[in-house]
Amino acid sequence: MQGSYVEIKYTNTKEDLLAFNEHHLANSQVYQRRRIINLYVTPFVVLLVFCLLAFFTGKTSYYAGGVLGALASYLWTFVAYKRYAKKCSEVFQKEVFCEHKVVISDVGVNESTANSSSQFTWDALDKIETNEDYIFIYNTPATAFVIPKREIGKDSFEAVKLALDNAL
C-alpha cells in the first residue's frame, strides 16, 4: 500500500452501536466467561447453599427457598444479559453519532469528526474484525471505529477491507 490511501465518510446510528456491542460481546472471552458464571454457577451455588442449610437444620422449607432463589438468580441474570448490548447503545455519545472521516494509509488509520481527530499507527491498533455488514477497527480492547457497509456502499466496503488486509 505504499503511498496509497483509502478515504471514507460515514455516520453512525444507534443500530450501528448496537451491532458493535453485540459483535464485541459475542466475541469477548472475558464477557462469555462472566456470563457463564453468572448464568449457571451462581444459581447452582445458591441452590447448594440452601440445600445444605435444609439438610443441616432439618427445615425442608429451605429446599423450596433454594429452588426459588436459584430460579430467580438465573432469570434475573438471563434478562440482564439479553438487554446489556441494547442498554450500552442507549447512552448518547456525540462523538459516535456524527459524521466520521476515516483515512486508511500505509502509516495507519486516521479518524476525524467535527470535534476531534485521532491517528493510530498499525502497531497502536488492537485488532480489526469484520462481518457481513461492518468493519470494526479496534483502537482499544473495547472500543472501535464502526464502519457500516450501508453507509459507504458495497464497493467502498470491499475496498476498505482490501486496504486493511494489505496493510496488515
Give the tens place of pLDDT for each residue, 122-145.
Answer: 999 999 999 999 999 999 988 899
| CATH number for domain 5-13+93-167, candidates 2.40.30.10, 3.40.462.20, 2.30.29.30, 1.10.287.610 | 2.30.29.30
Q: Which residue has the cell 453468572?
A: 38
User: Quick one: which of 90, 112, 93 has its CA closest to 101?
Assistant: 112
Q: What is the pTM of this model?
A: 0.72
DSSP three-state, residue 94: coil
- Give the per-residue pLDDT at 3: 56
> Hey, where are the domains in the chain?
5-13+93-167, 21-89
